[in-house]
Structure 1
Amino acid sequence: MICRKINQGKLRNSFRQSICRWFQSSVAPVAAPMTPVSTVSSSGKKIQSQLHFFGNYTTPFCSFKSNVSFPLRGCSFSTQAALDLSTGGVIDVPLAQTGEGIAECELLKWFVHEGDQVEEFQPLCEVQSDKATIEITSRYKGKISQILHVPGNIVKVGETLLKIAVDDIPEPAETSDASEKMTSLDSDFIGSSDISSVPEKSKIDGVSSTPAVRNLAKQYGLDINDVPGTGKDGRILKEDVTNYAMQKGLINEALECAQQKHSEVSSLIGGGYEDKTLQLRGYQRAMVKSMTLAAKIPHFYFIEEMNCDALVELKKSFQNENSDLEIKHTFLPVLIKSLSMALTTHPMLNSCFSEESYEVILKGSHNIGIAMATPNGLVVPNIKNVQSLSILEITKELSRLQKLAKINKLTPDDISGSTITLSNIGGIGGKFGSPLINSPEVAIIGFGRIQKIAQFAEDGDVYPASVMTINIGADHRVLDGATVARFCNDWKKFVEKPDLLLLHTR
């Protein structure tokens, strides 16, 4: 059914096509899409009109065109989550679109049960797409009437997750697409002063944040005024609350996940010789899809050794001069920055390939993905615009991503958009690995731990050196061995002589 939205304007007269709420005649015309309507007003005048729905039947706006001038109020309509009066005020809550190109999500867990009372913006469940883990919150105040899915189910976008018996008739929020259509249709008729919209954010005690962020702070028992905001104009973001909760030691989800994984493995080890089945969930299920796709790419590998003596000394100097106890300097940020410097002169490795159009898109930004092993599986967040960041800024961003990955709180933006990937197996063990490309990227780089091994000088003397082995996996449809070798030579130069980074940094 069609529900009235809250975009009311002041009375206007119009002969033009307009978004309308009601008519000051005795009968308001109602019709199917694109159907002409004739009705008679209280004065006896015949009214020729037409009701037209924009786009498909899911588009929440319609227009009315008439040969008669009506005093009317500007208003829009929405079909989103309409109240079903026939079922006693029960609303179907569908899985909303969680990101571009996302058609389905896996339901990970419920935060509510049937019969529970819920408030607006209260978390209902957690879902996992190919890109991120997302909390679904309630838009209504009411009682959980029915839960239609169990954890582990794959739910398609638009499919009903649960039913809520609402206390009051809801007024659905305006969608951005529909809002744009309304504005372009009758921007002169409905001005900015005529529309009262739901604010994006609100302020409590001078603190700018959304209701969902305040609710998250409440869950952790935090005062929202104590959380430092990093958003525009000091706005408090969800990540700010999560990071502050971690600093206070309030988040132990990573420990719980690790204990659960350990318990599952222990039960397998101590379970004798009986077969047991483990259900792949979350990131592990997403990895099945991505690795199946990666297996279709024709890989070739280029292996090289890098002398890291200067890199080791640089890391020591960074740490010796470090006055911030929250920052821990490692080799990885320097490797990331030096990689970006090499990509500047070898843009083919910072590209993606389209099989449909046989096109290679050279990416302008260096969004370098970092493969991370977490209690929930392998995930690859990325650091955006590395070419514009300092080593210190990269260090801080890497630390942020690592913390969020451990507690399964990475956002879709953190995970999407990478242009090339690094896989550091050295932190766990091994000299090098042969990673698979993260499609649609065309290259991935794996490197192992730095080892002290014997090297020969030009005069024949033997000396100890810190050596790291790297393995570059490349898409042979786009790259050839010579291109990868030249790129590796330039990257190796920056790693072995990191002072050159100062010479080329913009």
Structure 2
Amino acid sequence: MATTAVRGSLRILKRMPQLTYHCYSQCPRLPSTGSEGAFQIITPFGAAQQRHFRTTYRSNGQILPFKLSDIGEGIREVIVKEWYVKEGDKVSQFDSICEVQSDKASVTITSRYDGVIRKLYYGVEDTALVGTPLVDIETDRTQEGSPEEDVVETPAVSHQHTHQEIKGHKTQATPAVRRLAIENNIKLSEVVGTGKDGRILKEDILNFLAKQTGAILPYEGDQQVPTPAVRTTASVTSKPDKAPVTTYPTAAAPRPVFTGKDRTEPLKGIQKAMVKIMTAALKIPPFGYCDEVDLTQLVKLRMQLKGLAESRGVKLSYMPFFIKAASLGLLHFPMLNASVDEGCQNITYKASHNIGLAMDTPQGLIVPNVKSVQTLSVYDIAVELNRLQNLGASGQLGTADLTGGTFTLSNIGSIGGTYAKPVILPPEVAIGALGKMQVLPRFDAQGDIAKAHIMSVSWSADHRVVDGATMCRFSNLWRSYLENPASMVLDLK
């Protein structure tokens, strides 16, 4: 009786297509399977004993190694910053696989095939070498393509692919924005993107969240440190019983972290790039020059244009004016918009003014650049700066934005300080550092003391090819454009 029951159960199971079985606890060993089930065996004592089995589908796919190919600029290794998939996940073409960080930019790796992830070769923060596999993907045999061509690497700036399709088109958003939406249970289909081609930005998610929750987002105004007003005697400006109260801004200092023991870790990404660049910069003999600029007229002009720019959806700071004035000055002094080779045997005068802006980000110091400033208006520069700042804050700047610079400005004054000693970024030959804007007393044209908006500037130039007189004349011209903004109109192309 018991023998008949067992044989009958196995006979039924064997008829199931492409399934084989494992029995546990005194059951004959059969081929391996993947999902678990159970059946009963009737013993001579009449009791029912439960036996478990496991089933799997036999794979007919082809496993292809997905290799990391050369992403340009001589990059030989990258750091894996985040995985968007895990083993067993199904992926489609153009789905994001992972995000990697080189010493120049963040890059999102996307899939070329439809298939299943079978193996991840690296963990987060591991170093991946160019030419080595990132993942193994199991695909159908009918798919065309060679395993050696299975790498699609997309700079996060130029191609942003998402998994969500809405009415035939894909919602464009960076992985960081998608994570922010997921953390706040926001559907990207409900958010209106204000970026280029409808791309959803971090600000769009925050604004959408504020509307849903009624929260008030913090104002992100100009990061200028106000200067305390000039003190006057109490007998002239105040009553004896009411002394003036001066408030000072307090900087938010990061909380100290006590590890309890020393910690050693390798330099990676942007820090590793700084080592190479700064070491090369030590070979350059710099010439330093400092001056101050009266920005009183520029402050008035910006106040007039600020509302108009905001109505067009652009935040207008002082930096677009500084960059445009530098470009106009470079037209008169092309020596400063040049580069020299490693042995300083040849100098190349650059046709385009690709002016870089040193930017402090959570990932470290980066210097993206605005391309062809000589062809852009102040408004165009403001639009491009907003794009670079948003991408830099989220760590999504691409290689194209971080390379090709010809001249650099560092707005160190947005954090603090008046004068600096900027380090030249080879192969460029000049750089400027802008101090904080201060309201100080100055003599006007009539000899009276008046309130003035003063900013200091510090220049460094490669003294092998740039003499002090050239740097001084350029600084004077740049200053004249900013002190009398209307004069820039005469030289606009």
- TM above 0.5, one fold? yes
Q: Could you say which residue in structure 1 is the equivalent of 2:373?
A: 386
What is the total number of aligned residue pairs between the two structures?
A: 373
Q: Could you say which residue in structure 2 is the equivalent of 1:20?
A: none
The whole-number CA distance in structure 1 between the counterparts of 2:148 and 2:328 is 42
Query: Which stretch of structure 1 is more off in the superposition, 326-335 or 281-290?
Result: 281-290
Q: Could you say which residue in structure 2 is the equivalent of 1:490?
A: 477
SS in 2 for 1:448: strand
- Identity among equivalent positions (%) equals 38
Query: Which of 415, 420, 426 is equivalent to 1:428?
Result: 415
The whole-number CA distance in structure 2 between the counterparts of 1:214 and 1:104 is 23
Task: Report how far residue 287 of structure 1 moved.
Answer: 2.3
Q: Deviations over 1:314-370 (max 9, x none)?
A: 122222555517333221111111111101000111111112572111111111111
Asked if 1:222 corresponds to 2:179, the answer is: no
Query: Which of 269, 274, 288 is equivalent to 2:257?
Result: 269
Distance change in 2, residues 1:357/1:411 (3 Å): same
Q: Deviations over 1:74-112 (max 9, x none)?
A: xxxxxxxxxxxxx97221111122234333322222222
Asked if 1:247 corresponds to 2:201, the answer is: no
Q: Deviations over 1:5-56 (max 9, x none)?
A: xxxxxxxxxxxxxxxxxxxxxxxxxxxxxxxxxxxxxxxxxxxxxxxxxxxx
The whole-number CA distance in structure 2 between the counterparts of 1:295 and 1:171 is 52
Q: Could you say which residue in structure 1 is the equivalent of 2:127?
A: 154
Query: Which of 88, 102, 122 is equivalent to 1:129?
Result: 102
Q: Check the 8 A contact 1:367/1:386 in 2, yes or no.
A: yes
Aligned AA (1:477) = R
Aligned AA (1:338) = A
Distance change in 2, residues 1:215/1:208 (3 Å): farther
Task: Report how far residue 147 of structure 1 moved.
Answer: 1.9
Asked if 1:499 corresponds to 2:456, the answer is: no
Distance change in 2, residues 1:322/1:109 (3 Å): closer
Distance change in 2, residues 1:431/1:326 (3 Å): same
Q: Check the 8 A contact 1:95/1:156 in 2, yes or no.
A: yes
The whole-number CA distance in structure 1 between the counterparts of 2:442 and 2:109 is 57
Q: Could you say which residue in structure 2 is the equivalent of 1:307?
A: 294
Distance change in 2, residues 1:218/1:493 (3 Å): closer
The whole-number CA distance in structure 1 between the counterparts of 2:127 and 2:363 is 17
Aligned AA (1:327) = V
TM-score, normalised to structure 2, is 0.67
Distance change in 2, residues 1:488/1:396 (3 Å): same
SS in 1 for 2:380: helix
Equivalent runs, 1:430-469 vs 2, <5 Å? 430-456=417-443, 461-469=448-456
Q: Could you say which residue in structure 2 is the equivalent of 1:480?
A: 467
Distance change in 2, residues 1:206/1:109 (3 Å): closer
Query: Which stretch of structure 1 is more off in the superposition, 314-323 or 402-411?
Result: 314-323
Structure label with greater radius of gyration: 2
Q: Check the 8 A contact 2:66/2:136 in 1, yes or no.
A: yes
Q: Check the 8 A contact 2:191/2:205 in 1, yes or no.
A: no
Query: Which of 321, 328, 332 is equivalent to 1:341?
Result: 328
Task: Report how far residue 453 of structure 1 moved.
Answer: 2.4
The whole-number CA distance in structure 2 between the counterparts of 1:216 and 1:167 is 31
Q: Could you say which residue in structure 1 is the equivalent of 2:154?
A: none
Asked if 1:417 corresponds to 2:415, the answer is: no
The whole-number CA distance in structure 2 between the counterparts of 1:169 and 1:324 is 54
The whole-number CA distance in structure 2 between the counterparts of 1:378 and 1:454 is 34
The whole-number CA distance in structure 2 between the counterparts of 1:141 and 1:462 is 73
Q: Check the 8 A contact 1:109/1:127 in 2, yes or no.
A: yes
The whole-number CA distance in structure 2 between the counterparts of 1:452 and 1:134 is 43
Query: Which stretch of structure 1 is more off in the superposition, 452-461 or 430-439?
Result: 452-461
The whole-number CA distance in structure 2 between the counterparts of 1:431 and 1:131 is 29
Aligned AA (1:138) = S
The whole-number CA distance in structure 2 between the counterparts of 1:278 and 1:435 is 28
Task: Report how far residue 405 of structure 1 moved.
Answer: 0.9
Task: Report how far residue 412 of structure 1 moved.
Answer: 1.8
SS in 2 for 1:328: coil
SS in 1 for 2:283: coil
Distance change in 2, residues 1:130/1:169 (3 Å): farther
Aligned AA (2:74) = G
Q: Any gaps of 5 or more consecutive residues in structure 1?
A: 1-86, 177-203, 231-235, 256-264
Q: Could you say which residue in structure 2 is the equivalent of 1:326?
A: 313
SS in 1 for 2:414: coil
Q: Could you say which residue in structure 1 is the equivalent of 2:87?
A: 114
Q: Deviations over 1:116-156 (max 9, x none)?
A: 33232221111112321001112122222222222333323
Q: Check the 8 A contact 1:121/1:212 in 2, yes or no.
A: no
Q: Any gaps of 5 or more consecutive residues in structure 2?
A: 1-59, 150-164, 182-186, 210-216, 218-253
Task: Report how far residue 227 of structure 1 moved.
Answer: 5.2
Q: Deviations over 1:157-209 (max 9, x none)?
A: 21222222223354238999xxxxxxxxxxxxxxxxxxxxxxxxxxx999777
SS in 1 for 2:490: helix
